[in-house]
Amino acid sequence: MKYLCLVYTEEAKLAAMSDPEFEQLDADSLAYDKEMRDAGHFLVAQALQSVHTATTLRVRKNKLSATDGPFAETKEQLCGFVLIQAKDLNEALRVASKIPSARVGSIEVRPVRDLAESEPWDRRG
Amino acid sequence: MTGEPISISDKVEDIYRAESRRILATLIRLLGDFDLAEEALQNAFAAAIATWPRDGMPENPRAWLVSTGRFKAVDTLRRRARYGAIEAQLAKSPEMTTGEFEEAPELEDDRLRLIFVCCHPALSPDAQIALTLREVCGLTTEEIARAFLSAAPTVAQRIVRAKSKIRDAKIPYEVPVRGEWHERLEIVLHVIYLIFNEGYSASAGESLTRGELTQEAIRLTRLLIALLPEPDSEATGLLALLLLQESRRTARTSPDGEMVLLEDQDRSLWNRDLIAEGVSLVRRALASRNVGAYTLQASIAAIHAEAPNSSATDWNEIAGLYDVLLRVDPSPVAELNRAVAVAMRDGEVAGLRLMDELLETGELRNYSYAHASRAELCRRLGQNDEARKSYARALELMKLGPERRFIERRLQELGVTALNRKRDALNRTH
């Protein structure tokens, strides 16, 4: 089963970090990507540019509107994502809890809708 | 139908009461779905009622019911098989379609698995409690709502949402790994505590206590303790608390099912074996460095258990322990209990003052015992109007027969008949 780990942080908090701290976070993130890849959990991960670069689109009655900024103004902003493979939510939470950004922000773990892969619980319990 | 259909159906009912939750827990593991397992459980018992009077009771009724439930579920899935996804699900589950059901040792752990799933941290605390009470203990949504002081539709929705999260996010049917034991255990202990409370003081019906629920809570706590990788003082404290409360069960009800207050109980009816075990567990829990809320409550229960009567009880020690408890785990109910202890130590006036302050915050507005306790203090102080008002409010909130009759007796003693009450109510509205 696939889980999307959405990484939210306060951009102000990231901006307030010192250069060495920020570089360390990047290095830790890359190292953990590799760890996840070696363990067979990693599918894809990306960090995002600042929320001020975001554009939100809507098509209503065949008419396109584009507006500046994110879909919702919140205290924490989406700043990256990791798509992982895990056998169940417990494993997904275990993998996601070690994503380095969890120490600065929060990680929302969302199961991916994938009907072809859905199956009942692991019967071995 | 031949033989003794009435006695067989009585037996089925007994088995349903004693075993249905255990069977459900195993069916959930085998079928991987709460709703499918619940339907299978009902179908299995329907099959038992239909066939046992004719064929006789199977040697192992529980194994028969699990096996039958599982085959009924496979039938259900086959009937729905026009959906391709379910065909695929069946194909992946060969053990569901073939083979005889056997009683494996791990089956006994199914309820523990079920508990850890129901108490999963990915579910909201309210959902954890509701789901455990519903699935593990078999309480109805109505009973849970009363235990929660909330509305039945809210609880029903909570349970439906929790079940769909378990299914859709794929929360596994397993006990937590070692590194996650402690935090997961804390949630489970709290849920067991609430289950015990429902059995200790049932929310509705004619029976004051529900022995099967308190026994179940005690059994689950013992099982948990046996499975812990290392001793946990709060699990020990919880078991002590449950045993000490349970020790008074017989004395809390008169032979005709009426409620008997702590101070009026025949203490020779208290179960000395449970008290001895409870007290020794409290000592063990207190010896650890982490003294938590359950150990403190157990210490309070131990003081009651060892006191020869109400007036010789060390109320000072009890009030002091409530002070510590309020620091460790503040709650309005603990505040109320502390106010009762202060009333016993310093007199009704002091207790009533604390209670009125507490009631003013509004948190215990719908908590019947808060009003009943206040009424009792007013009655002792001879403030009969105030006592009547609070008893009447408690009565509005109470659903349990023996408790209601207790309050009604008190109201009668204060010279208020049902007719007078109605007239009072009419006068108030005019």
pLDDT at A122: 41
What is the percentage of chain B residues whose pLDDT exceeds 90? Answer: 56
Average pLDDT over residues B15-19: 89
Pairwise CB contact (< 8 Å): B170 & A115: no
Q: How far is CA B290 from CA B187, B231, B235, B283, B357, in A?
A: 17, 12, 11, 13, 32
> For residue A84, which phi and psi values (nearest 5 degrees)?
-120, 165
Instruction: Provide φ and ψ at B348, rounded to 5°.
Output: -60, -35
Contact between residue B133 and residue B193 where contact means Cβ atoms under 8 Å apart: no
- For B72-81, B259-268, B271-280, which range has the lowest pLDDT when averaged over its residues? B72-81
Residue B229's alpha-carbon distances to B117, B152, B182, in angstroms, are 19, 38, 10
Q: How confident is the model at residue B191 (pLDDT cuts 50, 70, 90)?
A: confident
State pLDDT tens for residues B99-140.
344 455 455 578 888 889 999 999 987 888 889 888 887 888
Determine, yes or no, domain membership for A125: no
Count of structural domains within chain A: 1
Kindly determine whether residue A89 and residue B173, on different chains, have CB atoms separated by under 8 Å.
no
B20-69 pLDDT, tens digit each: 988 999 999 999 899 999 999 999 999 999 999 999 999 999 999 999 99
Give CA–CA dist B166/B41, Å, rounded: 19
In a domain, B237, yes or no: no
More reliable by pLDDT, A125 or B251:
B251
Are the beta carbons of A121 and B173 separated by less than 8 Å?
A: yes
Q: How confident is the model at residue B396 (pLDDT cuts 50, 70, 90)?
A: very high
pLDDT in tens, A81-121: 999 999 999 999 999 999 999 999 999 999 998 666 545 54
Instruction: Report angle CA A95, B158, B68 to the nearest 5 degrees.
Output: 85
Picking from B55, B79, B96, the residue at the C-terminal end of a domain is B96
Mean pLDDT, rounded, of chain A: 90
Question: Where residue A48 sits, what CATH number does that domain have?
Answer: 3.30.70.1060
What domain count does chain B have? 2
- Would A119 be classed as within a structural domain? no
Q: What is the mean pLDDT of residues B224-242?
A: 88
> Chain B contact for A47, CB < 8 A?
no
Phi, psi of B76 (to 5 degrees): -60, -45
- Cβ-based neighbour number of residue A96 at 10 Å: 23
User: Is residue B321 domain-resident?
Assistant: no
Q: Reply yes or no on whether the pLDDT at B93 is more than 90.
A: no
Count of H-run helices and E-run strands, chain B:
21, 0
CB pair distance less than 8 Å for A118 and B85: yes
* Any domain includes A124: no
Residues of B in contact with A93 (CB under 8 A): 122
pLDDT at B142: 87
The domain in which residue A38 lies consists of 2-113
> Contacts from B113-117 at CB under 8 Å and sequence distance 24+?
B113/A125, B113/B25, B113/B29, B113/B173, B113/B174, B113/B175, B114/B24, B114/B25, B114/B28, B114/B173, B115/B188, B115/B191, B115/B192, B115/B220, B116/B174, B116/B175, B116/B176, B116/B184, B116/B188, B117/B166, B117/B171, B117/B172, B117/B173, B117/B174
- For residue B108, the distance in angstroms to the closest alpha carbon of chain A comes to 13
Q: What is the pTM of this model?
A: 0.70
| Residue A36, in any domain of the structure | yes
In whole angstroms, how large is the CA radius of gyration of chain A?
17
Residue B73's domain comprises 5-96
A28 located within any domain: yes
In a domain, B347, yes or no: no
Query: What average pLDDT is seen over chain B?
Result: 85
ipTM of the complex: 0.81
Instruction: Give start and end residues of each alpha helix (H) in A16-125.
Output: 19-38, 89-96
Last residue of a domain, one of B66, B96, B126: B96
Residue B46 belongs to some domain of the structure: yes
**Does A52 reside within a domain?**
yes
Q: Chain A within 8 Å of B115 (Cβ-Cβ)? A: no
Structure tokens at B413: 């003693």
Amino acid at site B170:
K
What DSSP character marks residue A71?
S
A122–B174 C-beta distance less than 8 A? yes
Of B96, B115, B141, which marks where a domain is finished? B96
How far is residue B181's CA from residue B195's CA, in Å, rounded to a whole number? 20
